[in-house]
Amino acid sequence: MSTHSMKPPPPDKRLQVIESCSSDRISKEDVVTAEIGRQIIFDARVLDTFDVKGCQPFHYDLLVVCAAVEFADRHWKRPQSWSRTLHVTVPVIDIDLWQKPNVLKSLRSVLQHLTGDTWKFTFVRAKNLSPIGLRQIPLDFAKTKTFAVAYSDGLDSRAVSALSGDKDEVLCVRVANKRQRRKKGETYFFQIPFKVDCYRSNESSFRSRGFKFAAVAATAAQLSGVKCIIVPESGQGALGPVLLPLHRIYPDYRNHPTFFRKMEQFVGAANGYQAWFEQPRLWFTKGQTLRAFLDLPGKTAVGLTNTRSCWQTRRVVNKNGRKQCGICAACLLRRLSLHAVNILEAPDTYVVSDLTAPDVNEALKVISGRSDRDIMVEYGSVGVRHFEHLADMASRPDDYLRVHASEIASAIGERYEDALGNLRSLLLRHTEEWRAFLSAQGEESFLRSWMDGGRHGRFE
């Protein structure tokens, strides 16, 4: 091919974070700005709950970097080829640390692995060296915490935090912008100390959220003297998005062991703190995790049914009180997992409650808008095909699973043969639970019409 016919690479997407005290204003048309205090908002009081020593410069810098990464990731829409080149300029207090080659290399590596983008960073010295103000008296824990859990409203978070140890030992880190009201059965948790606001959310994939979650969990763990950070995701959610990525979409590594090894390398290079991320339910289905929870003394179905799995926030789930949609991949995994432990939820838990209907239009008649129904069908059909194809993998030969088993084995320090056996056991158990769930919906269920078609495979 002639060099004259080759298209030049697209220009870098450039973001510059500026301080609220800064008089610098960027006038270049190709540079987007995000101001601390406006687009990036901190609540230092959240940090006060972590540790008697309070937040150190590196921790504040890391939160600024997290916010900048989130802003950049969501501001620029992905091209059809998926990957973008994102150049982010960030003011930091400890500039000597952030300019170390091993810190820059490990930061770029973990973000590229997670998002599929090329990341470039320029760090400049912050003008405000005391950005979080006066420290308040922090809370003093009655009992030393021994492990941290990246906590959410979901089933895995509820179950695995209980399975991992005594509730007084666990530091539950809540990655949310607002402090949430504790529900019955929940242990104490903390909220994220910042939010990113006032940007145009042009890109919905938001793969960098995994970096934010892991960084905040690692920060809370270090400030609380905790080395072990437990990732509660069960096998289908941790490995499924990499085993079966959607066609021509970069695999989702947010809960995959390879991401956590790179995150540990970055945290260790940046501040020398050797925390580790542990995945105790990696080789178990969500249904198996729920069964283990219910086998604990005093645990009942109520401790699971008052959780939330659906990620949707659109108007269709906010009508007459916020519900779960019932048909996205997250809801389907929730429903098949609860079915595996014989838990039946109230009919009004979901917007789309009846999965036995032969006609999808009948099941979705509660949704008035045509576009909303179309979106729900898209989400649901993708989820159904994913779980069906994941079940199909259980019957594939070893050669088909080899690359995945090898990658996981290397990341978790396990023998290849053991990883391969564990992966196949996970897939077989998923197949049993998925087939039983489908059978319960009946032969005429509209879900069955969605199982054919769609393409999954390694990113090309």
**Residue boundaries of the structural domains of the chain:** 3-125, 147-195+207-278, 308-450
State the angle between helix axes of 329-340 and 286-294 in degrees (0 to 180), rounded to the nearest 10: 50
pLDDT score of 460: 34
For the segment 431-435, the average pLDDT, to the nearest whole number, is 98
pLDDT score of 397: 95
Contact 338, 346 (CB under 8 A): no
Q: Which of 57-66, 123-132, 169-178 is modeled with the greatest confidence?
A: 57-66
pLDDT band at residue 70 under the 50/70/90 scheme: very high
pLDDT score of 178: 52
pLDDT band at residue 333 under the 50/70/90 scheme: very high
Q: What is the pLDDT of residues 108-159, one digit of tens each?
A: 999 999 999 999 999 999 988 766 544 433 444 445 678 888 877 789 999 9
Three-state SS annotation for the chain? CCHHHCCCCCCCEEEEEECCCCCCCCCCCCEEEEEECCCEEECHHHHCCCCCCCCCHHHHHHHHHHHHHHHHHHHCCCCCCCCCEEEEEEEECCHHHHCCHHHHHHHHHHHHHHHCCEEEEEEEECCCCCCCCCCCCCCCCCCCCCEEEEECCCHHHHHHHHHHCCCCCEEEEECCCCCCCCCCCCCCEECCCEEECCCCCCCCCCCCHHHHHHHHHHHHHHHCCCCEEECCCCHHHHHHHHHCCECCCCCCCCCCHHHHHHHHHHHHHHHCCCCEEECCCCCCCHHHHHHHHHCCCCCCCHHHHCCCCCCCCCHHHCCCCCCECCCCHHHHHHHHHHHHCCCCCCHHHECCCCCCCCCHHHHCCCCCCHHHHHHHHHHHHHHHHHHHHHHHHHHCCHHHHHHHHHHHHHHHCCCHHHHHHHHHHHHHHHHHHHHHHHHHHCCCCHHHHHCCCCCECCCC
Q: Is the pLDDT of residue 49 over 70?
A: no
Q: What is the pLDDT of residues 17-44, one digit of tens each?
A: 998 766 655 556 789 999 988 888 877 6
Class of domain 147-195+207-278: alpha beta
